[in-house]
Amino acid sequence: MPKVTFLPSQRQVTVAEGENLLRAAMLAGVHVNASCGGQGACGKCRVLLESGQVEDGFSERLSEEDRAQGFRLACRSTVREDLQVRIPIESQLDSRILTLQPPGQGVAFQLPDKDAAWLQERDLFVPPFDLKYLELEPPGAANNENDLNRLLRHLREKEDESGLQVDFDFIRKLPDTLREDDFKVTVALARPVKPERQSVLVNVQPGDRTKEHYALAVDIGTTTIYGQLLDLFTGQVLAEEGAYNAQISYGEDVISRIMYALKPGGLEKMQQVVVGTINEIIHQLLARTEVNPDDISYLTVAGNTTMTQLFLAVQPKYIRLSPYTPAACCYPLVKAVDLGLDLGRHVPTLVFPAVASYVGGDVVAGVLGSMMYLEEPLTLFIDLGTNGEIVIGNREWLACAACSAGPAFEGGGIEHGMRATKGAIEDFSLNPLTCEPMITTVGMARPKGICGSGLINIVAALFEAGLIDERGKFQTDLPTDRVRRGESGLEYVLAFAQDTDVGRDITLNEIDIDNLIRAKGAMYSGYLTLLEGVGLSVENLDRVILAGGFGRYVNIEKAITVGLLPELPLEKFSYIGNGSLLGARMVALSNRLRADVWRIINMTTNFELSEVAAYMDYYVGSLFLPHTERRYFPAVNERISQMHQVTGRLCREKA
């Protein structure tokens, strides 16, 4: 893998061959002015190649002379070999500032996948269904007992399976199936989660199908639904598919879905629509893998409380009405066909139950997937989103809460906010002295707006550089035209109109910043409330696990800088991916872990934050960058003080 050395700082980074040079600089923590997102339009990201060659690197903003001298536009350069790259003077940071800015992308390391091997090592690969191939004696004049008895007797005598329950649909399928291949059949036995309960005969197929055995795991997100097709014979994930939740047409957030469900026929409609999306995913998974639908035995589904109740057509009205009560703490297995899913009549659906109205089955699945409920370390589990869910605890206890963060982490409520799709500014660096930005966008396209992770990175950089104070208010005496008074008050220009894809300046204003501060304040005061509620504090945390799409991209250092994440060493942070899907998969592969769903529910205490007197105090205290209480963020405060000594700006006045 090529190594890129940036001069004069000597900072080095090893990147994948084919990486973009501007991204390489961002990864190395090296600032290069850049504001067009990677299209070569602004021409600001000129760098001088001192050794090695890049692919491309040109645009009309680079003169023939520049080219000849070895200048390239970083945003247009593809790294193919080791390079020495000099940052020109206009992009260089003051060396003292460089020292204060930590290098590295700062994202959490991803926890190793809990795959089949992982489960097998722990003796947890115990699929919830067993397939058994049976060769029955065909009936004759002297022995014409009924089909079911014949089968049950064989199972009792030859397979030591007795006391079985029988599913009604099994009986419907039995007579014809037995005779399809001369009384040679494969039966599926659903195993009980408690050993003292009965196994259930649920499916019968002609011939030997014991090696063709599959399950599905589904995560129903408010926006996106993911499904995985699992091989219950090997434990492998055969395929994964995702699709937008078609309920989006009826409202973007859970509240508008709940409101829609209150209309006549609305609940049924919401149910059909989400099932429609899941069916689409199932069809894609089956088509890709050429798996026979009849070989699927099991479906596990996790989602937030509202998504779960809509999926099950259980009235979600009371989720949004005080005192916010979900319908149930547990759901019996439901037949997939009874929900409208295109699966065999024998397929049961295990639905993860919720802890509370705003701490749903997706969080339960995530906690299960994280294994934090089985381990010693005191863990903070965070799923960031409009509704931010927090779980704190270890194998002895769990406490959870939901923080109403608002849509800022998803780019909502921000003037130029957008989802993390092509053209969204996702990373940001700032030259504190010149106030010039370095931006990268999703897909290296011309910028269209700012996504959630970009928002955090921008605010962190503005704050560190002293362009905004701890209340998020802009300084006005800055040596730049990028901070100016716009229609919504003071703002910073991330990209001027000519460099964007939207034909107008992309800016971040104080109202946007305030939205972020309130969002991160809601989260941080949530951690404090839970920790204080059990007599602990932030420094007791042994680790932080991030889940959800947002967790993958958030820069930990910068999220700490703004006070969204607690100040802990980077190595204590890890990322679990889609925790909901992970938990759903683990339960689909492990009947032992299935019991842990109820275990997690039972060991979790929900804190309804609006009912905890201290929460509002914590919240108000969290409405500063990084926090009113300096002691929570000693390193951030120290770094910023030093930064201010360099820049000569002193933003912090509060003691």
Q: Find out whether 425 and 431 touch, Cβ atoms under 8 Å.
A: no
Q: Find out whether 303 and 312 touch, Cβ atoms under 8 Å.
A: no
Task: Note the residue count of the chain.
Answer: 655
Q: Which stretch binds its own copies (CB under 8 A): 163-171, 244-252, 569-577, 615-623?
A: 163-171
> CB 316 → its own copies: shortest distance, Å?
8
> CB 351 → its own copies: shortest distance, Å?
9
Write the CB contacts of 416 (distance below 8 Å, at least 6 apart in sequence). Answer: 449, 450, 494, 506, 507, 508, 512
Tell me the helix, strand and coil percentages in the chain, rounded to 5.
35, 25, 40
> CB 622 → its own copies: shortest distance, Å?
23
Q: Which of 130, 147, 241, 436 binds its own copies (CB under 8 A)?
A: 147
Write the CB contacts of 640 (distance below 8 Å, at least 6 apart in sequence). Answer: 463, 464, 466, 651, 652
Q: Which of 63, 95, 146, 488 binds its own copies (CB under 8 A)?
A: 146
Range list of β-strands (E), 267-411: 296-303, 334-335, 348-351, 379-383, 387-393, 398-404
Nearer to its own copies, 334 or 462 (CB): 334
The answer to whether residue 317 forms part of the interface with its own copies (CB under 8 A) is yes
From 339, 326, 360, select the one nearest 222 (Cα to Cα). Answer: 360
> CB 192 → its own copies: shortest distance, Å?
12
> CB 289 → its own copies: shortest distance, Å?
30
Q: Which stretch binds its own copies (CB under 8 A): 52-60, 168-176, 235-243, 464-472?
A: 168-176
Please, which of residues 350-389 interact with its own copies by CB under 8 A?
A: 354, 356-357
Please, which of residues 212-251 interact with its own copies by CB under 8 A?
A: none
The answer to whether residue 259 forms part of the interface with its own copies (CB under 8 A) is no
Q: Find out whether 502 and 449 touch, Cβ atoms under 8 Å.
A: yes
Nearer to its own copies, 322 or 476 (CB): 322
> CB 553 → its own copies: shortest distance, Å?
33
Q: Which residue has the tokens 């889609």?
A: 578
The answer to whether residue 329 forms part of the interface with its own copies (CB under 8 A) is yes
Q: Which residue has the tokens 């059909």?
A: 272
The answer to whether residue 314 forms part of the interface with its own copies (CB under 8 A) is yes
Nearer to its own copies, 175 or 207 (CB): 175
Q: Which of 16, 68, 89, 141 binds its own copies (CB under 8 A)?
A: 141
- Rounded CA separation 595/587 (Å): 9
- Rounded CA separation 164/547 (Å): 40
Q: Which of 157, 176, 182, 617 binds its own copies (CB under 8 A)?
A: 176
Q: Which stretch binds its own copies (CB under 8 A): 66-74, 479-487, 513-521, 604-612?
A: 604-612
> What CA–CA distances, in Å, run from 644 to 4, 20, 217, 377, 513?
30, 32, 51, 37, 20
> CB 178 → its own copies: shortest distance, Å?
9
> CB 181 → its own copies: shortest distance, Å?
16
- Rounded CA separation 165/326 (Å): 32
Q: Find out whether 437 and 482 touch, Cβ atoms under 8 Å.
A: yes
The answer to whether residue 174 forms part of the interface with its own copies (CB under 8 A) is yes
Task: Tell me the per-residue interface mask from 121 to 140 with its own copies, x by CB under 8 A, - otherwise.
Answer: ------------------xx
CB-based burial of residue 176 (10 Å sphere; 0-12 exposed, 13-18 middle, 19+ buried)? exposed
> CB 573 → its own copies: shortest distance, Å?
32
SS3 state at 353: coil
Half-sphere exposure of 409 (CA within 13 A, CB side): 28
The answer to whether residue 332 forms part of the interface with its own copies (CB under 8 A) is yes
> CB 653 → its own copies: shortest distance, Å?
38
Site residues, its own copies (CB under 8 A): 139-150, 165-168, 171-172, 174-176, 179, 312-315, 317-318, 322-332, 334, 354, 356-357, 608, 610-611
